[in-house]
Homo-oligomer: A and B are copies of this chain.
Amino acid sequence: MPMDTRTGLPVVGMIGGGQLARMTHQAAIALGQSLRVLANDVDESAALVAADVQLGSHTDLDALRTFAKSCDVVTFDHEHVPGEHIRALVAAGHKVFPGADALQYAQDKHLMRRRLSELGAPVPRWAPIATAEELVAFGLPAVVKTARGGYDGRGVFVVNDVEEIIDLLASGAELIVEEKVALRRELAVQVARSPYGQVAVYPVVETVQQDGICVEVLAPAPGLPEDVAVGAQELAIRIANELGVVGLLAVELFEVAPDTPGEAPRLVINELAMRPHNSGHWTIEGARTSQFEQHLRAVLDYPMGDTSLAAPAVVMANVLGGPDGGMSIDERLHHLMAAEPGVKVHLYGKQTRPGRKIGHVTALGDDLADCRARAARAGHWLTYGKALES
């Protein structure tokens, strides 16, 4: 055990140096620790702020082995580490959470759909496809997804005519097709699970998407009937248990209009993520235990923290890189702070690039509409360098 002899506490290593590792390091500091980070580059979000950084690629098994030797437990900022590398680390005696058997369901949408179907979990009607004929037989319009490699809307195609994806079909990429559900809105629920088997589930949230990217999260999801919310939490717990997830699991859900008007809405599972997740950034100030601290507790097999809300309404808005507009990020921050002294800012230390997630803002209060307005104004200042016109 490379237990940190200076502090008497275990060392958590996170593979990947993005904003999730950056915010996990923040949480680790409170627990008396310092996150060890495997980053590709010194300029990555987490590498800019963490004391203990190893440079190397998440696809380089030698780098992973060296990294794991200096950690008590290894976890992830993303889902791109090959399963065989994770198995090699575990075979060498390292603790890696989540394990490869669980993580495969967040890496491969075909495996995920098949496993969830076996479990009887609610999913859209789906099928694996390899040819245009199979797609036509499934029925159009439909949603075609690559089994591997997609995120933030990449690898997802709404298809009305086979011709639209003829190149993709010819590429040899493994594909699945899903029915285009009568989507009302998107929800998400996060659960943490420890090796001991303790689980802690967060309130269900609404996630607002634009062009396949999450732009806003409302906690708790407004207007969701209590029994539907509890059902979603129970579903997330069941999936975490059945798949053997250790750490955080985010279950992204579609809320579909009920077949019979007046009945409760129906939820179907869209995606799974096994790490801290954009749908949980609101928890930093909005829940008693942030998702980042909870992920650390889970992979360390510590008891889970209280997941209850810290305010009646919490709204998180992502800050995307915007046009240059002649105003520096530092000036934008000044304006935001002057206009919204109660909004919490999180910047990731990233170079601005249009559409790139460079930070997020969180507004808390008693009134959801007020929180949404404040978060939107704050996010707009950081993205565009000017006030949102009302």
Contacts and interface: CB of A to CB of B under 8 A. Distances in A.
B51 A49 contact: yes
A24 to B, nearest CB: 11
A25 B28 CA distance: 12
A48 interface: yes
Interface string A328-357: 111001100110011011111111100000
Nearest to A10: B330
B305 A342 contact: yes
A138 to B, nearest CB: 46
Interface stretch (A99-107, A142-150, A163-171, A296-304): A296-304
Nearest to A27: B26
A49 B7 CA distance: 12
A43 B50 CA distance: 15
A311 interface: yes
Contacts of A6: 43, 48, 349, 351
A188 interface: no
A10 B328 CA distance: 11
B31 A333 contact: yes
Most chain B beta-carbon contacts within 10 A, residue among A10, A53, A302, A341: A341
Interface in A287-312: 288-289, 297, 302-306, 308, 310-311
A219 to B, nearest CB: 15
Contacts of A334: 302-303
Contacts of A47: 51
Given A8-B328, A30-B345, A328-B8, A337 B48 contact: no
Contacts of A297: 337
A305 B348 CA distance: 19
Nearest to A382: B32
A193 interface: no
Contact of A32 (B31, B306, B341, B348): B348
A388 interface: no
A contacts with B: majority SS? loop
A22 interface: yes
Given A6-B43, A311-B310, A349 B303 contact: no
A112 B310 CA distance: 40
A305 B336 CA distance: 11
A332 B49 CA distance: 28
Interface residues of A, number: 57
Contacts of A341: 200, 289, 303-306
Contacts of A318: none
Nearest to A23: B29
Most chain B beta-carbon contacts within 10 A, residue among A29, A47, A285, A342: A29
A49 B9 CA distance: 14
A349 B7 contact: yes
A303 to B, nearest CB: 4
Interface in A1-20: 3, 6-10
A270 interface: no
A345 B50 CA distance: 20
Interface in A72-126: none
A328 to B, nearest CB: 6
Interface of A: 3, 6-10, 22-23, 25-26, 28-34, 43, 47-51, 53, 200, 285, 288-289, 297, 302-306, 308, 310-311, 328-330, 333-334, 337-338, 341-342, 344-352, 359, 364
* Chain A to chain B: the 6 pairs with minimum beta-carbon distance, closest first: A32-B347, A306-B342, A303-B337, A303-B338, A306-B341, A34-B49
